[in-house]
Amino acid sequence: MNKMPGFIKAAENLGRVYLITGQTGDAVKIYQELVKDGKGNAGVYLLLGHALLLTNKPLSAETAYRHALLLDPTDDKPKNGLSKTLIAQGRFKEAIAILRELISENPDNGQVWALLADCHMAEQDYDKALVANECARRVGYTAGDMLSNMGDIYLYRKEPASAVMAYKQAMEQGDLTIERALRAARGLLSVDDETGAVELLEYAETKLAEREDLESSASTTELQLLKAELATRSGSLDKAKELVKTILEKDPLNGDALLALAGLCETEGEFDEAVIHYERVARLKDHKLEALVRHAGLEIRRKKYRDAVQLLEQAQDIESRASVARYLERVRRLAD
């Protein structure tokens, strides 16, 4: 290279080697030197954009891609890179415009459809995100989080059967993380799809058996809580209690487990025991509000309306909520 400083192609190739080997800083320096020497053609600016984007400099990368596009408007690669820099900067509407242009030129590019879906997700336009994801799937692109995102959107739209199909495809490809599977299982239970939830929990349990780390400990707890909820729904209260108590043996101050145990005691008519657990949870900052509201519900069942009013007032003092305010007003009428 020192003997042939004007050999642009050799410099480009050396920069590529740096990019492939992860030496992005060195790649940036090479391409910047070419630009400073007036040897910046479309290819150099394109590679400089890639290098800058990899070094987490999206604004500078945007400038490089725009130069590349100016010098060669027929090349799609600078447009693709430009869309990624805009996404990295949170400029999703601008990115959507560029991605739509790319799609109009090549509608079979599944990766671009997936990027478009991500932008619509970021803009909370879930219907358009779903359409874009479906288009990506139809042209054979199903990489990364795309299928999981589709499952989440279908679940948001309360279409559990379609959600489960997307999650299962993600499972088959190994693209569904344990945490995502557990979150999806909880979502399916919220719409009473117990069969779909069981499939996801079985998948999560199998994957957890392969891991031994702190993160898996939190996931194991969530798995046991969800299995306890399933057991409760099927009427296996003893099994549910056993699962919850297993969590509390390792983590006595686990608020979710204490709330679950309180709820189980309440279901079995063990009201005094349930109260003890609700009061324990109410001492935990992150769970105090829910514990107070649920404790109030128990006191209403026992027709102790004044006690329920006091509990709901405490909940409102922590965080004023319209739903709790309406609940409190109704209970006050019962207490009078």
pLDDT band at 269 (very low <50, low <70, confident <90, very high): very high
CATH no. of 1-89: 1.25.40.10
Which one, of 48, 77, 76, lies nearest residue 64 by Cα?
48
Sign, CA torsion 21/24/26/29:
positive
Answer yes or no: same fold for 1-89 and 235-335: yes
Please tell me which residue, 212 or 193, carries the higher pLDDT value: 193
According to DSSP H, which parts of the chain are helical? 8-20, 24-36, 42-54, 58-71, 76-88, 92-105, 110-122, 126-138, 146-156, 160-173, 178-190, 194-208, 214-233, 237-250, 255-267, 271-281, 288-301, 305-318, 322-335
The pLDDT tens digits of the residues spanning 283-292 come to 999 999 999 9
Chain-centroid distance, C-alpha 207: 18
The pLDDT tens digits of the residues spanning 146-183 come to 999 999 999 999 999 999 999 999 999 988 999 999 99
Please tell me which residue, 275 or 215, carries the higher pLDDT value: 275
Write the burial class of residue 123 (CB in 10 Å: 0-12 exposed, 13-18 middle, 19+ buried).
Answer: middle
> Which tokens in the block code for residue 31?
């391409």
pLDDT band at 236 (very low <50, low <70, confident <90, very high): very high
R_g over Cα of the chain: 28
Please tell me which residue, 143 or 85, carries the higher pLDDT value: 85
Please tell me which residue, 202 or 174, carries the higher pLDDT value: 202
- pLDDT recorded at residue 40: 85
Which one, of 55, 64, 50, lies nearest residue 15 by Cα?
50
Sign, CA torsion 104/121/182/230:
negative
Give the pLDDT mean for 293-319. 96
> Which tokens in the block code for residue 214?
């702190």
Q: Is residue 103 helix, strand or coil?
A: helix
Cα–Cα–Cα angle for 293, 299, 305, rounded to 5 degrees:
100
Cβ(62)–Cβ(30) under 8 Å? no
Chain-centroid distance, C-alpha 14: 38
- The domain segmentation of the chain, as residue ranges, is 1-89, 235-335
Q: Is the pLDDT of residue 132 over 90?
A: yes
- CA 47/CA 16 separation, integer angstroms: 8
Q: Which of 22-26, 102-106, 139-143 has the highest mean pLDDT?
A: 102-106
- pLDDT recorded at residue 39: 82
Q: Is the pLDDT of residue 261 over 50?
A: yes
> Domain 235-335 adopts which CATH fold?
1.25.40
pLDDT band at 3 (very low <50, low <70, confident <90, very high): very low
pLDDT band at 1 (very low <50, low <70, confident <90, very high): very low
Cβ(89)–Cβ(58) under 8 Å? yes
Mean pLDDT of the chain: 93
Lowest-confidence region among 207-216, 227-236, 269-278: 207-216
- pLDDT recorded at residue 213: 60
- pLDDT recorded at residue 240: 97
The pLDDT tens digits of the residues spanning 32-83 come to 988 988 888 999 999 999 999 999 999 999 999 999 999 999 999 999 999 9
Cβ(76)–Cβ(105) under 8 Å? yes
